[in-house]
Amino acid sequence: MESMIKQKIKEVKKGDQSAFEDIVTFYQNKVYHICLRMIGNAYEAEDLAQEAFIRAYTNIHTFDERRKFSTWLYRIATNLTIDRIRKKKPDYHLDAEVKGTDGLDMYSQMAADQALPEEEVESLELQTYIHKEILALPPKYRSVIVLRYLDELSLQEIAEVLEIPVGTVKTRVHRGREALRKRLRHV
């Protein structure tokens, strides 16, 4: 897979725009996932993920092919998302609230169409709750937790994505985990 992506990147660098389509298809879920879990709003996540891919395309010539493309791409996505979080900090809690109702809306619609088994409803609610708790973390802990546990990156990879020392990543993962422990204790 990695070699296929490398080949595609070479083609994009040569000016073949259509080769980028395969790259987007391959990474769209991961990038969207990172953005969604960090920003907590589906529309904004889509917007951010799209922006991340466009930035990756316009700056593709700065990508060093000896490095891992995913790391580079995730860095663009996380940086964009972190910037967005910083900008909208004042109304952040308001947004989290909207996200919660979004989930509820979807769930009630589904329930109207077809009755879900009790368990599934519970797991949906639980997931929504967990996502809310992740979103309640301060952004610097949120980013490492999302990359560590949702995208299963290694500590080294997270350090490269966020361009911070591995030691800092470790500290943030530890504190993020402790914060989650307190928040999810009663689940």
Partner 1 sequence: MNCKKEAVVLMHKYMDGELHKEEERRLRDHLNTCQSCQNHFHELKRATTLVKNTSPVSAPKNFTANVMNNLPKEKKRKSYVRYLQRHPLITAAAVFFILMFSGIFSAWNQDQQVTVSKQENLEIRENVVIVPEGVTVSGDLTVRNGDLRIDGKIDGDVTIINGDIIDGEPQGEISDEFDNSTLRAYSGELTEVNQIYEWVWYHTKQFFTELFAFGSDE
Q: What contacts 134, CB < 8 A, 6 or more positions away?
A: 37, 142, 145, 146, 180
CB of 18 to partner 1, least distance (A): 8
Residue 130 is a binding residue for partner 1 (CB under 8 A) = yes
Provide the b/e sequence for 132-171 (b: ≥16 CB within 10 Å): bebbebebbbbbbbbbbebbebeeebbbbbbebeeeebee
Min dist CB 120 to partner 1, Å, is 11
| Among positions 1, 3, 58, 118, the unique one binding partner 1 when judged by CB under 8 A | 58
| CB of 33 vs partner 1, minimal distance in Å | 5
Please give the residues from 7 up to 46 whose contact with partner 1 meets the rule CB under 8 A.
15, 17, 20-21, 24-25, 28-29, 31-33, 36, 42, 46
Among 1, 2, 3, 61, binds partner 1 (CB under 8 A): 61
User: What span, in angstroms and rounded, lies between the C-alpha atoms of 94 and 125?
Assistant: 20
